[in-house]
A and B are shown apart, each in its own frame.
Chain A
């Protein structure tokens, strides 16, 4: 298995999130991760509607089929359930599929395979089968994405045993988490965010992994803990920037992975600050905010000095029109306002 060797080599360096070095766009970081994986392991395949077209899934897959062949990098029929099942069956038999979708909304068509099959077989087969597959999709926001092209569905999947859910926010993480996801022997769903995909950042060359299930401090401070992933934690970081003159300091924790959830880093911080704000791109009700809020209330109650707060989406479908959309989504100012209220 080439993955073990490659990743052990990278782990031995204990790479931090680097501040200096080669700068890549988020999309190029993902492209590089896929190219490295395809080059490393002949069992890796990349598929999805449009992966071979000139736009190449926002540029993430552009040209890969020319280097690695159309047997391994291929466009698919629009059969989300069927193809997710195909990926599952291939993964059960030694292939490592990376199945890309423009939007998580399309994954709703594949829930039968995701929830009842891919995530269940390892357990159902008493450990005899592994399902090393990666599903990637980019959450949309703005410009009329609306109710059916903007859904951040991670909350719907949190309660599915056997799944892993990854939500990167930086180019460094996007590459390292993609490689870790491909190397992992379980079904891993990566939910990218279209707005994070505009970012640039320092990305080392070669193979490295960002471990699944481990959060990271983006900032440290004393007044409160802010946890989240992806575009939400990016907005929260910007909100702290807006408040830089206020003297407020916070632990800003990018969870990177929602499942498995790094409970330890959350509890460690809350026991220090006594206050927590959870931010998420999905709905507040029954989602990531609700789950983490409940966990903190359950396990850190005696450390809490204020009620748990959350900023996600209200229980409303996403409107397509610009004005309504602005009212729906939390922005930097709204997050900064809540932080000020809490401190």
Chain B
């Protein structure tokens, strides 16, 4: 086998000789937030075999820069909707870790009351508005949320996260068309990781037709960015958000990234043969977290001692949250019957 999908970005090389465009605080927060997501998922992964988290997980390892870079460009009352790979977006938007882990452990105080599981995390208090486990299902819903903001003359924007395979669904382009038509304040954020379950992009879409260019055909700006590079993600999202807030309409962002783990469950499944394990090793060299760390150290903005401290704080938070989730109560039979209809 060979490496089919190579990293094509420039990482931080283009920025090394440039002056800083962002505050140190924000840059360090990017790092810490990405590290936190990674460590949370590693802990989930290490405990998954215990079979107590009875929920189909879809780990975001490798995608952290997308979640953190884009959510950092949003306000708390801006909304996000996503697909089945929810962990990163939920955490980056500020979703409660305890609520998330309780949900994975099927507890009654889970963020969806044990009705959603890993694929349906939500935290309305921070704008993590929902998700769909049907590919592309949430894209029109996010677009409808944007319509509500436009109708009510509110300034919020909405981000619809989608995968490369979602652009093979009609509903995706139906929503894009409508958003462009109405100039809705929505950002379509495509995380292109080249795989849908085990099906590679080459068996699903014609070669040499880039996804963001298809979006351009619908009359909205399309942009392709390095999805491993959090500053690029942040800046592209900021630009799209500004455009949306001004009433100029939607933007389609395609971030090239890579899924380090299998489609679902724990571990890297590339030994099963659908992709070369070397391809995973290749992308691991462009780790969004380590890349930013090296950049920050080179710029003199961060050091190993600060990193160690962050690691310790994150570990403590994670351990406490796991203990909270594990010791939380299970639902009871009466909980099955609530909220079928809204009063």
User: Which positions in A face B, CB cutoff 8 Å?
Assistant: 43, 45, 71-72, 76-77, 79, 81-95, 112-113, 116-117, 121-132, 161-162, 164, 185-186, 260
Within 8 A of A (CB), among B151-195: 151-152, 170-171, 173-175, 177-178, 181
- Once the chains bind, are B178 and A127 in contact (CB under 8 Å)? no
- B115 contact from A79, A113, A126, Cβ within 8 A: A126
Within 8 A of A (CB), among B224-282: none
B160 to chain A, nearest CB (A): 9
Contact bitstring B106-137, A, C-beta under 8 A = 1, else 0? 00000011011000101010000110101001
- Once the chains bind, are B130 and A86 in contact (CB under 8 Å)? no
- Once the chains bind, are A93 and B122 in contact (CB under 8 Å)? no
- Once the chains bind, are B342 and A186 in contact (CB under 8 Å)? yes
- Could you say which interface size class chain B belongs to? 35 or more
Contact bitstring B57-96, A, C-beta under 8 A = 1, else 0? 0000000000000000000000101000000000000000
Kindly name the residue among A43, A79, A82, A87 whose own CB sees the greatest number of chain B CB atoms within 10 A: A82
- Once the chains bind, are B174 and A117 in contact (CB under 8 Å)? no
Contacts of B142 in A (CB 8 A): 89
- Once the chains bind, are B340 and A162 in contact (CB under 8 Å)? yes
Kindly name the residue among A72, A125, A131 whose own CB sees the greatest number of chain B CB atoms within 10 A: A125
What are 6 A-B pairs with beta-carbon distances under 8 A? A45-B151, A85-B138, A88-B141, A92-B141, A112-B171, A122-B340
Contacts of A161 in B (CB 8 A): 340
- Once the chains bind, are B147 and A117 in contact (CB under 8 Å)? no
Q: Which 8 A-B pairs have the closest CB atoms?
A: A89-B144, A85-B140, A82-B174, A126-B113, A79-B174, A89-B141, A127-B339, A93-B148
Q: Is B97 an interface residue (CB 8 A)?
A: no
In the bound complex, what is the Cα–Cα distance between A41 and B134 (angstroms)?
33
- Once the chains bind, are A95 and B148 in contact (CB under 8 Å)? yes
B158 to chain A, nearest CB (A): 8
- Once the chains bind, are B140 and A83 in contact (CB under 8 Å)? yes
- Once the chains bind, are A127 and B174 in contact (CB under 8 Å)? no
- Once the chains bind, are A112 and B137 in contact (CB under 8 Å)? yes
In the bound complex, what is the Cα–Cα distance between A293 and B297 (angstroms)?
74
- Once the chains bind, are A116 and B137 in contact (CB under 8 Å)? yes
Tell me whether A95 and B115 are in contact in the complex, defined as CB-CB below 8 angstroms, given that A83-B174, A89-B141 are known contacts.
no
User: Which positions in B face A, CB cutoff 8 Å?
Assistant: 79, 81, 112-113, 115-116, 120, 122, 124, 129-130, 132, 134, 137-149, 151-152, 170-171, 173-175, 177-178, 181, 338-343
Tell me whether A79 and B339 are in contact in the complex, defined as CB-CB below 8 angstroms, given that A72-B151, A93-B145, A125-B130 are known contacts.
no
A262 to chain B, nearest CB (A): 15
Tell me whether A117 and B137 are in contact in the complex, defined as CB-CB below 8 angstroms, given that A94-B152, A125-B122, A126-B115 are known contacts.
yes
In the bound complex, what is the Cα–Cα distance between A161 and B340 (angstroms)?
7
Given contacts A79-B175, A126-B112, 11 further A-B contacts (CB under 8 A): A83-B174, A85-B137, A85-B175, A86-B175, A88-B141, A92-B141, A125-B130, A128-B122, A132-B342, A164-B341, A185-B343
Query: Closest chain B residue to A81 by CB distance?
Result: B171
In the bound complex, what is the Cα–Cα distance between A93 and B184 (angstroms)?
14
Total number of A-B contacts with CB less than 8 angstroms?
Answer: 146
B219 to chain A, nearest CB (A): 13
- Once the chains bind, are A81 and B342 in contact (CB under 8 Å)? no
Contacts of B132 in A (CB 8 A): 116-117
In the bound complex, what is the Cα–Cα distance between A315 and B342 (angstroms)?
35
Kindly name the residue among B81, B141, B152, B181 whose own CB sees the greatest number of chain A CB atoms within 10 A: B141
- Once the chains bind, are B148 and A94 in contact (CB under 8 Å)? yes
- B151 contact from A95, A123, A126, A127, Cβ within 8 A: A95
In the bound complex, what is the Cα–Cα distance between A77 and B144 (angstroms)?
14
- Once the chains bind, are A81 and B145 in contact (CB under 8 Å)? no
Contacts of A87 in B (CB 8 A): 144
Contacts of A83 in B (CB 8 A): 140, 174, 178
A79 to chain B, nearest CB (A): 3
Query: Closest chain A residue to B177 by CB distance?
Result: A77
- Once the chains bind, are B140 and A86 in contact (CB under 8 Å)? yes
In the bound complex, what is the Cα–Cα distance between A126 and B343 (angstroms)?
13
- Once the chains bind, are B339 and A81 in contact (CB under 8 Å)? no
B185 to chain A, nearest CB (A): 12
B179 to chain A, nearest CB (A): 9
- Once the chains bind, are A127 and B342 in contact (CB under 8 Å)? yes
In the bound complex, what is the Cα–Cα distance between A131 and B339 (angstroms)?
12
In the bound complex, what is the Cα–Cα distance between A127 and B337 (angstroms)?
11
